[in-house]
Structure 1
Amino acid sequence: MDPLQLLVSNDLLRALDLLGVFIMGVAAGALAARLNFDAVGFAIIGIVAALGGGIVRDLVLDYGTPAAFSGAGYLTCALAGSAVTFLLSPEGAWWRHLVTVLDIMAMALWAATGTAKAIGYGLDPLPAILLGVTSAVGGGVIRDVLVGRIPAIFGGGPLYATGALLTAVGTWGVVALHVPAAWVLVAVAAGALLAGLAAWRRWTLPAHGGWQVTMSAAQMKAFVRRVRRSERSRVAAETGTIPVVGVGHDDLADDVTIDDDDAAAYEDRVLGQDVALDGINPFRDSTDPERR
């Protein structure tokens, strides 16, 4: 049995797949409730979020009628999930945690199913993996676009798409190495575990702004002054003496009187020199012979 047959024909996994569709409908309904949608809005958001990724996958593969429309099961589960939130509005931390866990399980399963299906249709490894990730997160992206917000997978959220990517790569590895198809469940578990830990520990990928320092010269001066004052206080606490600024050179006064062109010029001037405080340089390690 190949991975696709395992994921599609196994009754337990199919039940988990339908449960994932239901849970995604519930999660989408919670968003619709916050936005005060009517019943039609709940239904549309629930269908798009729960089935959008699979529909995109089947259209790309030229599968014919997408699996979501091949029977009433998928549509019924998506509508039932959004209807639960519309009618009952369940709340509480336990409910949110349960929805998150089941949603992550469905995500990993969809990533494996999408990748296996793409490989079965003859796609190369990279497109197959990309389509597997699309199957897992595509519905959420379409949902976010419909409500006018930046998709959560683009940044600031847990490693949801990263977990889907791990599962997709693992599924491709099972096929490429010709190992027993049951090993694809290990890939599903690995991706779900990563996404679950990320949601629990609030792990995120580095954002673009996190790699940049955008300070003006004045802000850089204020920052360095605070660091120097803090360092002098630390030296005083550790040595029991008060560092005395040399009469001939007051570095903090220089920061005020010298007009640097920009932050880079200030950085070159300050960090490029070795300023001593009464014979003691607080920026040197205490084990440095020159500090003794």
Structure 2
Amino acid sequence: MRATPDQVKMILIDPKQVEMGQYARLPHLLTAPVTNPKKAANALGWAVKEMERRYDVLVEAGFRDIAGYNAAYDRGEMTVEAGQPADKKFERIPYVLIVVDELNDLMMVAARDVEDCITRIAQKARAVGIHLIVATQRPSVNVITGVIKANIPARMAFAVSSLTDSRVILDQPGAEKLIGMGDMLMLPGNTSVSQRLQSAWVSENEVKKVVGHWRRQAPEVAYVSGVEGEANASGSASVFGGSSGDDGDDELMRQAMDLVVRAQQGSTSMLQRKLKVGFARAGRLMDMLEQRGVVAASEGSRPREVLMSVEELELIQKAS
């Protein structure tokens, strides 16, 4: 690891819970390794919001990408113009690497949200320094969807059991003939010709030595709040200071309350259908409605009881 924590930050998503635990308390991490699939979907959503916020910063500063912005910052050329708030300041933007160790578990919990987030990050995030590595041991079309494949052109395959699996990953045969032990095919994004490579083997002892080296240099690790979807009401902290509220979430919450109360039906599937959101986000909206006393607690697969009347809703809407 040649990069310092102020140069590169990481989000490690580990649904299997045993692969990334040895990297805990690494000073490069934005949050502890994420093992809960629902929180992992939230972390990908946080990355999308951080991407949009970084684009706003680049537009304000007048740069096309993070490399030009950081170079100007290092040269001391980032100054606050007259008329801007006195406490306004520019800060260096670190790169962010997101590693998803097992995509299959995430797709089983929140397929639409995960696919949407991965697509947006793959399409737009490179210019603002957010990069994504996605891995799976189940290369099926239900996990590596056509949308995900179209937006992640660079792919690698280790030995697989069938020609079909090779085509799912690389769109071509070959991976079914690999011999294992790090033997791999790499398909760069700029060519359709795969390259056969030998992957390096890194032992657990080597990983512990590297992580221990960084831990000794930074015994206190400060994680960014809100990455796993637990930000406070004032908004989630960004990678390099400040906070980012989301008026869109508030508006979605108001729409969800209006739908549920007027229909007198606390159904997550209804929110998915009417608001065109994924399962995970609809579930979070329903949990927020429960916290506000709009619906009762969940009773399994049955729709929740609605505790607020239409008249009470209209009084609240008039007051706001």
TM-score bin (small chain):
under 0.3
Select the structure that is richer in helix: 1
Query: What TM-score does the superposition give when structure 1 sets the normalisation length?
Result: 0.22
Q: Which of the two has higher C-alpha Rg?
A: 1
Select the structure that is richer in strand: 2
